[in-house]
Amino acid sequence: MGHLRPIAHDTCLPLHDAAATRRIETEALAERPEDELIQQAGLSVAKLAMAIAPHGSRIWVACGPGNNGADGLEAARQLQSWGKTVFVTNLAWGTSDGNVKRHRLQRAVDAGVAWLSTPPDEFDLCIDAMLGLGSQTRPADARLREWIGGIRAHRKPVLSIDLPTGLNPDTGWTGEDVVAADHTLSLLTLKPGMFTGGGRDVCGCVWLDDLGVAPTLLATPNAPPPTAWLSGAPDPAVRPHASHKGSYGDVCVVGGAQGMTGAALMAASAALHAGAGRVFVSLLNHGAPLAHLGLLELMLRPFESLAIKDMAVVCGCGGGTQIAACLPELFTAARALVVDADGLNAMAADPKLGLLLRQRGDRGGPTVMTPHPLEAARLLGTSVDSIQRDRLHAAKELSQNFNCTVVLKGSGTVIISPSEVPLINPTGNGRLACPGTGDVLAGMIGAGLALGHSAARASAEAVFRHGQIADQWPRGWALTASRLSETGLAELSTPGSPAAL
C-alpha cells in the first residue's frame, strides 16, 4: 500500500519529470493491475477530499482523459458511497479514450454519482482530475477554459489530482489557463514544476502518495534518475570551543557605487550575520559617509589593498558600471567568488568577462552566479518569458556556459552546478519581493564560501535559510532587506563537518 503524506519543506526529496514518471507508471503497471492502482489512487484522493472539506456535502469531480480522469471517477464513486452528493463532468466523454473509460464512469453512476454535461451551479469542493501530466501536451480548448473559469468563479476549495490542470510538470510554466488548487495530491512521484515558476502558487499544499510501488521501482538499477531534487534544510552544526574568527574565513564585498552603497553594505551585513569570521567592504563610492555603515564590525578597505587570493569575494552589489573594471582581477585571483547584480550585467555587456569566468571554472575556482530572471535573460540573449518558461533549462545553460554554480532566483530558486542534478529550493515567499534581498542572499552565500564549503553547498544552504527567514517572519510585519540581513541565522556547518551536499 502507498503512504499519503504532506510534503515537508525541510526534507530532501527526488523530483521526476513527466517522461520519468511515465516510465515509472509503465513499470508499475507491469507489476500490479491497472484497476488496483486506480482504486488505490481514487481512495487516496477521496480520503484527502474528506479531510479538506469534512462538512462539504456537494462535490464536483471534473474529469478528463487518461488515468487522471479514471482516478477522479474512482474518487467520485468512493465519496458517493460515503454519503456525499457527487457530480461528475467528463472532458473525454464521446472520444475514443472516453469510450475505453466508459465502464469506470458507469461504475460511478451505478453508485449514485450524477453525470453532468456542464459544471454544477453549486458545490462545496472541486476535485480537478482533468489533465494531470497531460497538461504538458494538450492545449486548452473552449470547454476546458470554461470549466477552469467555473472553478475560479466559485472560489471553493480545490483538490487537484497529480497536478493542477494547466501546470507544466517539468517547468512550472502555467500560462493563463490553469487551475489554482488549494491542495495537490501527486501520485507516484513529485514533479519539478510543482516547486518552481508558477507551481508554488497553483499547487497549494502538496501531498504525495507513491501508491506503494514507486519506492521499490526507484531502487532498481534501471530506474530513471531524478530530474531534480527538492533541497532540504541544512544540518545544524555547533562551532568548536577551540576556534577563533580566523576559523570561519574572510568575506570581502566589492560594490556600492554612488547612490547604491546600501546594496554593498546589506551584503556585508548578511555575510557577517551568516557567520563569516571577518567581513571587509570595498566601496566603489569612496566618498560614502562612514556613518552609513551602521555595523562597526565591518572593515573598509580600498580595492587595491585586498588580499583577494585568501578571501571569498562578493562582487557586483550596487556596483553600477564601475564594477566592470574590478572584474578581471577578481575573476582571476579571488579564492572564492559570488557574482551578483551589476557584476552579471557587466558580463552580459562584455563577452570577454564571460570567457574569463569560464576559465576560472576550468581552474577549479569556487564560483557562484546569482541572476534573477532578467539578468539571466541578458546573459543568454533571450527574454524573461523564455527564462520563466523553463527555469531548470535556463539555469543549466548558464551553468554550462560559464562553468560555475548558478543560483537562478525566483519562486522555487534553482541551484545547479556543471554536470550535477539541479536543486529546487522549497522555502521563501512574496515577502522577499522587495529591493535588496538579492544582495543579502549574495552575502550569505559568501559566508558559506568563506567557511570552505563547496559552491553548491554554500548556495543551497544560504538559499534555504534566506527563504526560511521570510517564511518565519511575523504576519503583518513588512520584511525589508536590511532587517533580513540582520536576522540571526542558524550557524553554518564548520569546516570538516559532514557535507549536506
pLDDT at site 278: 96
Residues 461 and 233 sit within 8 Å (Cβ to Cβ): no
User: How many other C-beta atoms are found inside a 10 Å radius of the C-beta of residue 390?
Assistant: 19
Q: How many residues does the chain have?
A: 501
Residues 429 and 468 sit within 8 Å (Cβ to Cβ): no
Residues contacting 325, CB < 8 A, separation 6+: none
The residues facing 423 across adjacent strands are: 229, 415
Name the nearest CA neighbour of 193 among 485, 478, 424, 21. 424
Residues 249 and 277 sit within 8 Å (Cβ to Cβ): yes
At 170, the amino acid letter reads: D
Please state, in angstroms and rounded to a whole number, the distance separating the CA atoms of residues 347 and 364: 19
Residues 240 and 494 sit within 8 Å (Cβ to Cβ): yes
Please state, in angstroms and rounded to a whole number, the distance separating the CA atoms of residues 3 and 20: 20
Please state, in angstroms and rounded to a whole number, the distance separating the CA atoms of residues 336 and 450: 8
Residues contacting 236, CB < 8 A, separation 6+: 490, 491
Please state, in angstroms and rounded to a whole number, the distance separating the CA atoms of residues 167 and 102: 26
**What CATH number matches the domain at 4-230, 3.40.50.10260, 1.10.1060.10, 3.90.1200.10, 3.50.50.60?**
3.40.50.10260
Residues 351 and 394 sit within 8 Å (Cβ to Cβ): no
At the topology level, CATH places domain 246-486 in UDP-N-acetylmuramoyl-L-alanine:D-glutamate ligase (3.40.1190)
Name the nearest CA neighbour of 208 among 422, 353, 8. 8
Instruction: Enumerate the domain spans of the chain.
Output: 4-230, 246-486
Taking the model in full, what pTM does it have? 0.93
Could you tell me the three cell numbers for 288? Answer: 560614502
Please state, in angstroms and rounded to a whole number, the distance separating the CA atoms of residues 391 and 413: 9
pLDDT at site 497: 33
Q: Which residues of the chain have pLDDT under 70?
A: 1-2, 93-102, 137, 287-294, 488-501
pLDDT at site 492: 37
Residues contacting 198, CB < 8 A, separation 6+: 167, 172, 173, 174, 178, 411
